Amino acid sequence: MIEQLWGRGKQFLGSRYAILGGAMSWVSERHLVSALSNAGGFGVIACGAMPPELLEQEIAATQALTTHPFGVNLIIMHPKLEELVAVCARRNVSHVVLAGGIPKGATIEALKASGIKVICFAPSARIGQKLVRMGADALVIEGMEAGGHIGPVATSVLAQEILPEISDVPVFVAGGIGRGEAIVSYLQMGAAGVQLGTRFVCAEESIAHPNFKECFIRSAARDAIPSVQVDPEFPVIPVRAIANKATDDFIRFQQEVIAKYRRGEGEKKEAQLEIEHFWAGALRRAVMEGDVENGSVMAGQSVGLVTRIQPMQEIMDELVAQAESFLARPFASKTA
């Protein structure tokens, strides 16, 4: 039954399952991406701040580990975005996810001219419709339950707002999804597929530090909280991560920096930059070095559903089995 529900998403991605991997900096690299694609999903490389030559190496290394399709996530504010687009075209990447805001039409056109399918994030129905008019081939709607940088609206509300309004292109739902039953619920609402990130961090194939994985395993949903903004004059982009020493330090640091500014010690712009730079290198410190107290342990609220380290294939099989079991129930099959 699930084959019919996510058939459109599967066809668009070219994968066995319409499960898109969230692009997590330092985590979504060749090993995790290829493992996800090999297990039937659709892996996505997190380009982040990579220079073009490093992205090219990462794509080539991923292609050496899988014959299945995978994509690349590009941040539209990257200073060398055009070069990154050229790298994706040269390496025959099938799909590119554009993140970090509304992309320029020229970027979408350049990707499509190379035969690349373009996926964009839509924070509202209006912006989603605009992106479709600009040429986006698919959309991702991601709610505030997700890990990392988040918006203000819950996944369930975004789904109700956007899925009934946009059917021109496949729409993938993300944020807080950790079990197959949730996947089915969004498919039945009209989604073509889903995107998961947090659920895959503790895959055996993930290169995340053992301390990072252990932190995920012992954390509950309520432990994954958005970063706190102390003063509206000094806005902080909300990031959802597991509460730790750094979380408390960040609040104190904001208070100290703002107090200095109020005393006339320095310019406002300098104070804002100080606050923004607090987390510089913090994600790498946690993911790669295992410093889960002073680093940033970005995680979605579905972290409470991560209970052990598993092979990626086992995770995927578990998700699909949960979905199929749910659909086999009499009350669920009537709506499928």
137-159 tens-digit pLDDT: 999 999 999 999 999 999 999 99
225 in the same domain as 130: no
How remote is the C-alpha of 230 from its chain's centroid?
Answer: 26
Residue 249 domain flag: yes
111 in the same domain as 48: yes
103 in the same domain as 44: yes
> Which residues, other chains included, contact 50 with Cβ-Cβ below 8 Å and sequence gap of 6+?
58, 84
130 in the same domain as 262: no
The residue type at 258: I
188 in the same domain as 74: yes
Tokens linked to 277: 């730079």
Q: What angle do CA 198, 298, 153 make, to 5 degrees?
A: 80
Q: Check residue 330 and give its pLDDT.
A: 82
CATH number of the domain within which 163 lies = 3.20.20.70
Q: What number of CA atoms fall less than 13 Å from residue 66's CA on the CB side?
A: 26
Count: domains in the chain: 2
Return the SS3 of 1: coil
Q: Check residue 333 and give its pLDDT.
A: 52
Residue 212 domain flag: no
- CA distance readout (Å), 260 to 230, 231, 253: 14, 13, 11
279 in the same domain as 315: no
Report how far residue 290's alpha carbon sits from residue 117's, in angstroms, rounded to the nearest whole number. 36
128 in the same domain as 6: yes
195 in the same domain as 125: yes
* Beta strands at 117-121 and 171-174: parallel, antiparallel or unpaired: unpaired
Q: Where do we find the tokens 């909300």?
A: 238
Burial 147-181 (b: 16+ CB within 10 A, else e): bbebbebebbebbebbbeebeebbbbbbbbbbbbb
Per cent of the chain over pLDDT 70 is: 98
Residue 195 domain flag: yes
265 in the same domain as 157: no
The residue type at 225: I
Report how far residue 71's alpha carbon sits from residue 45's, in angstroms, rounded to the nearest whole number. 6
pLDDT in tens, the chain (336 residues): 899 999 999 999 999 999 999 999 999 999 999 999 999 999 999 999 999 999 999 999 999 999 999 999 999 999 999 999 999 999 999 999 999 999 999 999 999 999 999 999 999 999 999 999 999 999 999 999 999 999 999 999 999 999 999 999 999 999 999 999 999 999 999 999 999 999 999 999 999 999 999 999 999 999 999 999 999 999 999 999 999 999 999 999 999 999 999 999 999 999 999 999 999 999 999 999 999 999 999 999 999 999 999 999 999 999 999 999 999 988 765 555
How remote is the C-alpha of 76 from its chain's centroid?
Answer: 15
Q: Check residue 332 and give its pLDDT.
A: 60
134 in the same domain as 70: yes
Residue 213 domain flag: no
Q: Which domain holds residue 266?
A: 220-298
DSSP for 269-335?
HHHHHHHHGGGTTHHHHHHTT--TTTS--B--GGGGG--S-B-HHHHHHHHHHHHHHHHHSHHHHTT
Q: In what order do the strands lie in the sheet with 44-46?
A: 19-21, 193-196, 171-174, 138-142, 117-121, 95-99, 71-75, 44-46
CB atoms within 10 A of CB 46: 26
Q: Check residue 88 and give its pLDDT.
A: 98
Q: In what order do the strands lie in the sheet with 148-149?
A: 148-149, 239-242, 224-226
